[in-house]
Structure 1
Amino acid sequence: MSRSDDPGHYFQTSDSLATIERRAAKASNKHGDPIKLPSKILAVLADKKAHKVYVAEAAGNVKVVDLETGNARVRGEPRSAPLTCLALSSESSTIYCGCWDKSIYNSSLTGTSQAGKQRPKLVGHADFVKCLLTTNVEGTSVLISGGADATIIVWDVETGKPLHKLKGPAKAIQDLVVDPMGMPDDLNESSGGVVMFSASSDREIRRWYIGKAKAYELPESIEHPILAHETSVYKLCFDSDGDLWTASADKTSKHLVRSRDWEADTTLQHPDFVRDVVVSEEAGLVVTACRDEEVRVWDASSVDLVCTYSGHYEEVTGLALVDASTVVSVSIDGTVRKWSLQRKDMTRYLEEVEREEAGTVVDEELVEKKDGLLTADEEAELAELMDEDD
């Protein structure tokens, strides 16, 4: 154990102190043009038309961040609990956010006030809301939510009432995505319905039919769920071929091929949990976010590691493609950073990093250890939520 007169060092191991010191030194870096917010950021969603992103904060705010000016404005009323996930409905110009308090809140993006018009919350989950998805089912706009209670709820956004409540696997629902390839030929259902994939903490990827009158898990999914990972699957992302990219707590991101019955033909190894994955088709790149604080860019064809963007000094919690050549990352460190996916810019960044002297000056404003936004119990609960593998 290290010895120190600093009260903040009491009961901490040498490894813990080294981590604190490393993060403090790293915090002053300006890589990715950081936009600093006052709270941990747990989710991000891009508004590609306006070159801005929406973020969900542990402090209970949804904010819209202008990537050009760095300005951040609150949308909707602040909540008393951390916000965990976001979804955007372009049809109704509404932003939805899932919360620790088991509710889903929504605000109009076209309200006359700066904060946007507040609407009634949606209540139905028995535990944290962990993921949200908006889509259209047979002409009806729906919101689909997944929770730590292992439940999927399909909501009619016009009435605010549940259309369906589905019991998922035994563990928390981590992510939901609509199959872009539409309905399978052998599925005898309305063409207006959708097929949805779910990821969960029990490592299983499952498939569901979602219609207006009924919703259920596909028979082949019940018999043979997709088992590509050893533990929790955090994120799912389809590419233009209808194949699936995944992010998992088993420290890998995988490419699952539809024509091979979802067999993995590519595995991207990481040193820690992979929190998110996005694909830039035009750039031919795959981007992953890792708990080790790094954003990695991979060549989608050769699967070579093209660039590792190092800027965050806490766990990276989410990624969002703003356009074909720009990806945004958010982190527990409270920063929003943007990274170029152009090859020349990545080469320039790597050369710049090589030129930098070892060590950085600590920026006290960025590395306050106690920001007062969460209690010790809430910090522990947040860590448990983020690391849930069971």
Structure 2
Amino acid sequence: MSRSTDPGHFFQTTTFITEAARKASKSKNNHGDPIKLASKILAVAADPENDGRVYVAEAAGTVRRVVLETGETSALYSGPMAPLTSLCLSPSSHTLFAGCWDKSIWSWSSRTRKPLRKYIAHSDFVKAVICVSLNGKEILMSGSADATIILWDVATGEKLHILKGHTRGVLALVIDPLSLPGPGQRMEDLGKAENVTLFSAGSDREIRRWTITSSDASQVSGTEESDSPIIAHETSIDAIRFDNDGDLWTASADKSAKCLSRSRNWETDTELPHPDFVRDVVVDEEGGWVVTVCRDEEVRVWEKGSGKLYHTFSGHFEEVTGLVLLPGQKVVSVSIDATVRQWSLKTPDLVKAKQEAKDKEEGKVEEVEEKKEGLLTEEEERELAELMEESD
């Protein structure tokens, strides 16, 4: 006996039907020049070799390299049979890594698309990956829902260290730029570094710090207050990013994004309130903007200095899952609505977008007022009819 999977054949609440209709209507918009893919998108990463391309991780288990100008897929990396949650590229070997729900990290040659090594040791979903090169040795770091961080030798696949400290899943990893060598603190200088500091965050709301070398790893911990885990949020942290000043920006499920000041022992310097879970945050230093994405489908642009909301880009019609900032003040957002969208952060473009949104909103208000003026309620029509009868 066959069974239908059509939602229309099952009982549905009024709320569900209304929400489905809203999303169906909103899905037709072209805001952000949407590139429509076939599967939900869970992560995005910049292409270090081409500013006009990004890599996206899909729930279907594939990674795509997408050309932003044309929307075409210039490379497809396949193999996994489960959703991919996170992406990174090696700084020197042109290797693409993807964390997966199957508890492993997959890798491919980013240029030839050839599958490479598979890294297996976690006991739960892999949620974050990052790759560095220390003293010429490439090291892959993976954070998992099993509450551990594993360090791997990329060349041999050997498991180097397991870092324990978090009590719940690890959701985000980032290298402290001020731990890099050279005046510019660039990721390209990692190969010359003797050691770096890794920051990690996750479902236990703690941000922890680790000292990583090519042969050892240890948690930054001790008796001093400055060495203890950083606690700035009420619940899980989905993303952590550094700005050029070395301050840390966070995105949390407690419905806020925050800037934690390095000079004040990671105290909250700026707080950006949201109506729902905040999924990611990036900082555009050139324009002085902070961009956040939220479970409420919106992409928000904030003034970095004042913390004031400047503009909201509306286009996605499902939860937004990730952001990447590209040269030229362009930010790319991805969503489980299966679209890649791009937004300009240049001041003239932002001013124009803000004015267009204002005009549209005012137009809606005028339209509603016009309708109100031209229509009577059922009660008003009844009263009018009674008055007409009396006049006769």
Instruction: Report the TM-score range of the alignment, normalised by the length of the smaller protein.
Output: 0.7 to 0.9
Q: Structure 2 counterpart of 1:144, which letter? A: M
Q: Quote how far apart the aligned CAs of 1:47 are.
A: 1.6
Q: Structure 2 counterpart of 1:15, which letter? A: T
- Contact (CA 8 Å) 2:134, 2:193: kept in 1 or not? no
Change beyond 3 A, Cα 1:9–1:15: farther
Structure 1: which 4+ aligned runs deviate by more than 6 Å? none
Counterpart of 1:8 in structure 2 is 8
**In the TM superposition, what whole-angstrom CA distance separates every residue of 1:65-115 from its partner, at most 9, and x where no partner exists?**
00011101443324211111000113001110011111111110222xxxx
Q: Quote how far apart the aligned CAs of 1:353 are.
A: 3.1
Choose the corresponding residue for 1:173, options 170, 184, 206: 170
**In the TM superposition, what whole-angstrom CA distance separates every residue of 1:146-189 from its partner, at most 9, and x where no partner exists?**
001011011111111111111231100000011111189xxxxx
3-state DSSP of counterpart to 1:219: coil
Counterpart of 1:31 in structure 2 is 31
Counterpart of 1:291 in structure 2 is 295
- Contact (CA 8 Å) 1:246, 1:277: kept in 2 or not? yes
Counterpart of 1:102 in structure 2 is 103
- Contact (CA 8 Å) 1:139, 1:192: kept in 2 or not? no
2:225 corresponds to 1:215: no
Choose the corresponding residue for 1:276, options 280, 284, 287: 280
CA RMSD of aligned residues (A): 2.1
- Contact (CA 8 Å) 1:61, 1:74: kept in 2 or not? no
Q: Structure 2 counterpart of 1:242, which letter? A: G
Q: Quote how far apart the aligned CAs of 1:222 are.
A: 10
Distance 1:81 1:219 in 2: 36
3-state DSSP of counterpart to 2:114: coil
Which ranges of structure 2 fall in alignment gaps of 5 or more residues? 1-5, 182-191, 365-392
Counterpart of 2:244 in structure 1 is 240
3-state DSSP of counterpart to 2:155: coil
Distance 1:7 1:175 in 2: 35
Distance 1:61 1:7 in 2: 27
- Contact (CA 8 Å) 2:91, 2:131: kept in 1 or not? no
Q: Quote how far apart the aligned CAs of 1:13 are.
A: 2.6
Distance 1:289 1:9 in 2: 34
**What number of residue pairs does the alignment pair up?**
345
Q: Structure 1 counterpart of 2:141, which letter? A: I
Q: Quote how far apart the aligned CAs of 1:324 are.
A: 4.1
Distance 1:348 1:294 in 2: 18
2:165 corresponds to 1:161: no
Distance 2:303 2:267 in 1: 20
TM-score normalised by structure 1 residue count: 0.84
Q: How does 1:264-343 map to 2 (within 5 A)?
A: 264-343=268-347
Distance 1:214 1:17 in 2: 55
Hey, which of these two has a bigger chunk of helix by percent? 2
Q: Quote how far apart the aligned CAs of 1:63 are.
A: 0.2
Change beyond 3 A, Cα 1:219–1:313: same
3-state DSSP of counterpart to 2:159: strand
Q: Structure 1 counterpart of 2:68, which letter? A: L
Change beyond 3 A, Cα 1:297–1:48: farther
**In the TM superposition, what whole-angstrom CA distance separates every residue of 1:106-163 from its partner, at most 9, and x where no partner exists?**
110222xxxx111121111111000001112233111100001011011111111111
Which ranges of structure 1 fall in alignment gaps of 5 or more residues? 1-5, 185-189, 359-390
Q: Quote how far apart the aligned CAs of 1:213 are.
A: 2.2
Choose the corresponding residue for 2:232, options 228, 234, 245: 228
- Contact (CA 8 Å) 1:37, 1:335: kept in 2 or not? yes
Q: Which has the higher contact order (CA 8 A, sep 6+)?
A: 1
